[in-house]
């Protein structure tokens, strides 16, 4: 009898293992029926990796059951699939948003390029199954840009969450099937629908095949702002709390190869915090050859959100800062309509030689990209928006993704794909021959930010500015 029980258990385990691999083992995409079955096994304890402070670091964050011993979270990293010769990294933990769980944060350092790393994560000797990620070249690399996943468990959200997450997984399936050389994912925000429902995080984390193997850098969106949970799921590097930190998460920056990524919380009311973040990030990376900003609000975007007052306020306060610090590209979300702007500088839409042919060299100003939705929530409003700053837009209900490749010979190559038709919908290339960082010689750019916001009261800032100058001159004598 005992033997029979054992045999049945083995067969059941094998069947479970096979049913899991049946979902993920072939190059064919998962069927909806298989996904619905698989989804029943998902929870909110999956890991989210985030690029660390630079390309040699990897940050880990995961939820686990509350552990009363206070044991530190641990990540073990090995170059061998049997985890032999592992290196162990210990981190910190905080209370999570749930009484029965905690949020664990670990940073692994010393990563090398073109290497496969196997890892386990855990607490108090209880480790996850072995997973792996691969680093590619640090000099030339490709990343994936998606946005607005925002799975919702609410009955008013249309599709059931299984359908939404099936489409979210499908976006990643297509992107990674076509690109086996992606180093990390950038997410333009609205990570979840309310930021306060665990079911949304179960949904967001459900494409484990991809999220266990690719780090993701995400900004906060207006939907994340509705709750407080974002910060318990992401272990971001170089977080800038500023003078008015928010409870749901703050801006941060990281460096990957020659590129500085500044991840802005565009919902912050205190515009000086974002100015300080950008300034601090740029000054810490004077040798970066490219500067990319990521923010949720599509300040030169594609749909009705792009001209709402809160978006315009961010445009007025942040665009001059990005221009001042010589940014090349801004990646945004929010409108769920894919589009790409002309190059813009000083609030002007520029005519850039080569633009219409899809390739420009050392352009002035910066270009803004707006992502579609990522889980079947792309929008096709009744009317087409003909904003003067939009060079191309893609009106479809399908999810799209964008890959951006930065090469060591000075090219940024952008390609966007419809995940249902799998057709390329947009391509563009920026070539850089001149890497000199050109901070704009414009002392008044703070005036440019503040004046439109405070109008006639700007005189107060002028008086205060004069006063500070006088005090500074007294102390410098």
Among 93, 291, 315, 334, binds Fe ion (CB under 5 A): 334
Q: Does 324 bind Fe ion (CB under 5 A)?
A: no
Q: Whole-angstrom Cα distance, residue 136 to residue 107?
A: 19
341 in contact with Fe ion (CB under 5 A)? no
C-alpha span between 291 and 400 (Å, rounded):
24
* Residue closer to Fe ion (CB basis): 97 or 148: 148
Part in contact with Fe ion (CB under 5 A); list of ranges 39-47, 168-176, 222-230, 403-411: 222-230
d(CA 322, CA 318): 6
* 222 is a contact residue toward Fe ion (CB under 5 A): yes
Stretch that binds Fe ion, among 7-15, 219-227, 426-434, 453-461 (CB under 5 A): 219-227
Q: Select the span of 27-35, 138-146, 187-195, 466-474 touching Fe ion (CB under 5 A).
A: 187-195
Which C-beta is closer to Fe ion: that of 60 or that of 368? 368
> Which residue, 73 or 188, is less far from Fe ion as judged by CB?
188
User: Please, which of residues 231-260 interact with Fe ion by CB under 5 A?
Assistant: none
Contact between 379 and Fe ion (CB under 5 A)?
A: no
Do β-strands 411-418 and 400-406 pair in parallel, antiparallel, or remain unpaired?
Answer: antiparallel
How many residues lie near Fe ion (CB under 5 A)? 5
Q: Select from 55, 97, 148, 328 the one that contacts Fe ion (CB under 5 A).
A: 148
Interior CA angle at 118 toward 115 and 123, to 5°?
140
Contact 81, 132 (CB under 8 A): yes
171 vs 222, which CB is nearer to Fe ion?
Answer: 222
Give yes or no for residue 225 binding Fe ion (CB under 5 A): no
Stretch that binds Fe ion, among 110-118, 174-182, 238-246, 328-336 (CB under 5 A): 328-336
Q: Under 8 Å CB-to-CB from 286, ≥6 apart: which residues?
A: 437
Three-state secondary structure call for residue 291: strand
How far is residue 413's CA from residue 142's CA, in Å, rounded to a whole number? Answer: 9
Report, in Å, the least distance between residue 177 CB and Fe ion: 25
Min CB(383)–Fe ion separation in Å: 19
Which residue is nearest to Fe ion, using beta carbons? 190
CB closer to Fe ion, 59 vs 311: 311
Q: Is 273 in the site for Fe ion (CB under 5 A)?
A: no
Expressed in percent and rounded to 5, the helix, strand and coil fractions of the chain are 30, 25, 45
Q: Can you give the C-alpha Rg of the chain in angstroms?
A: 23
Question: Which tokens hold the place of 461?
Answer: 């800032």
Angle in degrees, CA 183, 108, 146, rounded to 5: 30
Question: Closest CB to Fe ion among 221 and 363?
Answer: 221
Which residue, 297 or 342, is less far from Fe ion as judged by CB?
A: 297
DSSP 305-359: GGGSHHHHHHHHHHHHHHHHTT--EEEE-SS-SEEEE--EETTEE---TTGGGTE
Q: Shortest Cβ distance from residue 224 to Fe ion (Å)? A: 9
Residue 267 or 391 having the CB closest to Fe ion? 267
Nearer to Fe ion, 190 or 328 (CB): 190
Which neighbouring-strand residues pair with 276? none
Q: How far is the C-alpha of 230 from the C-alpha of 296, rounded, in Å?
A: 14
Give yes or no for a contact between 325 and 291, defined as CB atoms under 8 angstroms apart. yes
The smaller minimum CB distance to Fe ion, of residues 349 and 380, is found at 380
- For residue 192, the minimal CB distance to Fe ion (Å) is 10
Burial of 161 (0-12, 13-18, 19+ CB in 10 A): buried
Based on the shown chain and the rule CB under 5 A, indicate whether residue 200 belongs to the binding site for Fe ion.
no
Judged by CB under 5 A, which of 97, 190, 405, 418 binds Fe ion? 190
Return the residue of 221, 249, 320, 339 that touches Fe ion, per CB under 5 A. Answer: 221
Residues binding Fe ion (CB under 5 A):
148, 190, 221-222, 334
């Amino acid at each position: 009898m005992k033997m029979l029980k054992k045999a049945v258990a083995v067969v059941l385990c094998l069947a479970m293992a096979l049913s899991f691999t049946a979902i993920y083992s072939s190059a064919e995409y998962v069927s909806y029926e298989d996904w619905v079955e698989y989804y029943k096994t998902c929870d909110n304890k999956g890991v989210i990796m985030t690029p660390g402070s630079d390309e040699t670091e990897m940050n880990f964050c995961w939820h686990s059951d509350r552990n009363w011993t206070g044991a530190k979270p641990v990540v073990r990293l090995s170059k061998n699939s049997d985890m032999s010769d592992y290196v162990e990294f210990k981190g910190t933990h905080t209370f999570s948003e749930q009484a029965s769980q905690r949020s664990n944060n670990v940073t692994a350092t010393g990563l090398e390029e073109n290497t496969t790393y196997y890892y386990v994560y855990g607490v108090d000797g209880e480790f996850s199954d072995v997973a792996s990620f691969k680093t590619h070249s640090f000099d030339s690399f490709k990343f994936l840009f998606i946005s607005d996943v925002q799975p919702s468990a609410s009955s008013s959200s249309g599709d059931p969450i299984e359908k939404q997450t099936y489409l979210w997984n499908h976006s990643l399936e297509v992107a990674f099937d076509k690109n086996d050389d992606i180093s990390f994912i950038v997410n333009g925000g609205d990570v979840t629908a309310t930021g306060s429902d665990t079911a949304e995080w179960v949904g967001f984390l459900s494409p484990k095949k991809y999220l266990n193997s690719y780090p993701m850098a995400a900004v906060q969106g207006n939907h994340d702002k509705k709750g407080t949970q974002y910060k318990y799921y992401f272990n971001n590097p170089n977080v800038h709390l500023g003078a008015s930190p928010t409870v749901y998460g703050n801006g941060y920056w990281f460096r990957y190869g020659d590129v500085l990524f500044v991840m802005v919380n565009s919902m912050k009311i205190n515009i000086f915090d974002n100015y300080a973040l950008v300034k601090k990030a740029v000054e810490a990376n004077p040798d970066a050859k490219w500067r990319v900003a990521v923010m949720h609000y599509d300040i030169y975007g594609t749909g009705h959100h792009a001209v709402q007052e809160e978006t315009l306020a961010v445009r007025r306060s942040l665009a001059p800062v990005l221009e001042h610090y010589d940014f090349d590209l801004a990646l945004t979300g929010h409108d769920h309509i894919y589009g790409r702007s002309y190059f813009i500088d000083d609030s002007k839409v520029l005519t850039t030689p080569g633009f219409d042919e899809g390739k420009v060299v050392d352009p002035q100003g910066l270009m803004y990209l707006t992502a579609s939705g990522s889980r079947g929530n792309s929008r096709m409003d009744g009317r087409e928006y003909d904003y003067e700053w939009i060079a191309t837009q893609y009106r479809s209900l399908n999810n799209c993704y964008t890959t951006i490749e930065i090469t060591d010979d000075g090219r940024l190559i952008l390609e966007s794909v419809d995940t249902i038709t799998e057709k390329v919908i947009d391509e563009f290339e920026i070539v850089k021959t001149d890497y000199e960082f050109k901070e704009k010689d414009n002392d008044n750019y703070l005036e440019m930010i503040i004046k439109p916001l405070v109008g006639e009261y700007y005189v107060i800032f002028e008086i205060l500015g004069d006063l500070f100058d006088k005090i500074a001159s007294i102390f410098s004598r």
